[in-house]
Amino acid sequence: MINLIFLGPPGSGKGTQAKIISQKLSLPIISTGDILREETNKKSKIGLEASSYMDAGQLVPDEVVISIIEGKISTSEYDNGFIMDGFPRNAIQAQKLDMMLKSLNRKIDLVLELEIETEILIERMLARFTCGNCGEIYNKLSKKPQKKNICDICGSSNFIFRKDDNEEVIRSRQEVYHSTAKDLVEFYLTKGLIYKLDASESSSFITEKILGQINNVTQNSN
Ligand code: AMP
C-alpha cells in the first residue's frame, strides 16, 4: 500500500503525472478539483457553493473540501492506497488529513512536489485542453491529438478548455498557490516526506523519477 500526494502550482503537470502513475500502479486518484467540477456540473449544493470560488480562482472553504475527503478516504476503494491531486492545499487541510489518516491507522508515504516558474506555467495553461468524453489531457504546445480534433484515446471530437484557464484567473490561482504552499511544503518537509521535481523536464523523465522514488520508499518501508 502506498499513499501519495502531488503538490505543485496549477499547471505544473500534477494531474498528468497523477494519471500516469495511477495507471502504472493501479492506484486510485482523489482529485478535489475534479470532484468539485463534477459537483458544479450536477448543480449540487456543494457544487453551487464551490462554483463562485472556483470561477474566481480562489480556494473553496476548507470545511467543504475536508468533508469531501472525509467521505472518500475511509471507503474500501482506497484500501490499497491513493494518489491525492489538489488536496491538501494549505497547512490546515494537511493537518486535518493527517488526523483522518491516523484514525484509520494510515499515513502519507511520499509527497511529490513539482516546481516550475510562473511565466512558463501561464503559457502552458493557456494552451491546455481535455477530451470532454474520456478526460485525456492535451496541450496545443506540447501534446496535440495525433489526428486533428480527434481524441487519441476514445475518438471523440468533444474537446473542452477549462473555464478557469483564462489569464486573469490563472494569475490569481498562481498567487493563491504561492501564498499557501510555503506552510504546506514546510509541514511535509519537517516529516521528511518531500521529493522535489523540476516540472520543466519532459513528462516521461518526470514519470521515471517519480517511479524511482516510489521504489525507494517502498523498499525502505519493507
Ligand atoms: P484544480 O483542478 O486542482 O486546479 O482545482 C480547481 C479549483 O477547485 C481551485 O482553483 C479551487 O477553487 C478548487 N479546489 C480544488 N481543490 C481544492 C482544495 N484542496 N481546497 C480548496 N479549493 C480547492
Write the pLDDT tens digit of every residue in 159-197.
Answer: 998 887 888 888 888 898 989 988 999 999 999 999 999
User: What distance in angstroms lies between residue 60's CA and the mean position of ligand 1's atoms?
Assistant: 7
User: Which one, of 32, 38, 40, 36, lies nearest residue 15 by Cα?
Assistant: 32
User: What distance in angstroms lies between residue 168's CA and the mean position of ligand 1's atoms?
Assistant: 16
Structural domains in the chain (count): 1
What pLDDT is stored for residue 222 in this prediction? 67
Would residue 22 count as lying in a domain? yes
Average pLDDT on 138-153 reads 94
Query: Structural domain of residue 203, as residue ranges?
Result: 2-27+80-117+179-221
Q: Provide the sign of the torsion angle of the four alpha carbons 169, 89, 33, 59, taken in this order.
A: negative
Would residue 52 count as lying in a domain? no
Would residue 100 count as lying in a domain? yes
Q: What is the pLDDT of residues 49-92, one digit of tens each?
A: 999 999 888 999 999 999 999 989 989 999 999 999 999 999 99
Catalytic positions: 14, 89, 128, 162, 173
Report whether pLDDT(138) > 70.
Answer: yes
User: What distance in angstroms lies between residue 170's CA and the mean position of ligand 1's atoms?
Assistant: 12
CB 17 within 8 A of CB 27: no
- How far is Cα 197 from Cα 207, in angstroms, rounded to an integer? 10
b vs e for 74-108, b when ≥16 Cβ sit within 10 Å of the residue's Cβ?
eeeebeeebbbbbbbbbbebbebbbeeeeeeebeb
The minimum-distance atom of ligand 1 relative to the CA of 87 is 19
What pLDDT is stored for residue 166 in this prediction? 85
Q: Provide the sign of the torsion angle of the four alpha carbons 57, 63, 64, 65, taken in this order.
A: positive
Residue 21: give its domain's CATH number: 3.40.50.300
Would residue 159 count as lying in a domain? no
- How far is Cα 29 from Cα 26, in angstroms, rounded to an integer? 9
Would residue 203 count as lying in a domain? yes
- How far is Cα 28 from Cα 3, in angstroms, rounded to an integer? 10
> Hey, what's the cell of 98?
493527517
Would residue 155 count as lying in a domain? no
- Ligand 1 pocket, CB under 6 A: 10, 32-33, 36, 53-54, 57-60, 65, 86-87, 89, 93, 173
Report whether pLDDT(124) > 70.
Answer: yes
CB 217 within 8 A of CB 2: yes
The minimum-distance atom of ligand 1 relative to the CA of 10 is 4
What distances in angstroms separate CA 42 from CA 14, 37, 47, 50, 51, one per listed residue?
A: 25, 9, 7, 12, 11
What distances in angstroms separate CA 78 from CA 5, 12, 203, one per listed residue?
A: 14, 25, 26
Would residue 141 count as lying in a domain? no
**Best residue for ligand 1 mutational test, from 12, 52, 60 (most atoms within 8 Å of Cβ):** 60
User: What distance in angstroms lies between residue 3's CA and the mean position of ligand 1's atoms?
Assistant: 20
Beta bridge partners of 7: 113
Query: Looking up cell 499515513, which residue turns up?
Result: 107
What pLDDT is stored for residue 25 in this prediction? 96
Would residue 101 count as lying in a domain? yes
**Best residue for ligand 1 mutational test, from 39, 54, 73 (most atoms within 8 Å of Cβ):** 54
User: What distance in angstroms lies between residue 85's CA and the mean position of ligand 1's atoms?
Assistant: 10
The minimum-distance atom of ligand 1 relative to the CA of 37 is 8
Q: What is the pLDDT of residues 6-52, one digit of tens each?
A: 999 988 999 999 999 999 999 999 999 999 999 999 999 999 999 99
The minimum-distance atom of ligand 1 relative to the CA of 85 is 3
Question: Mean of the per-residue pLDDT values for the chain?
Answer: 93
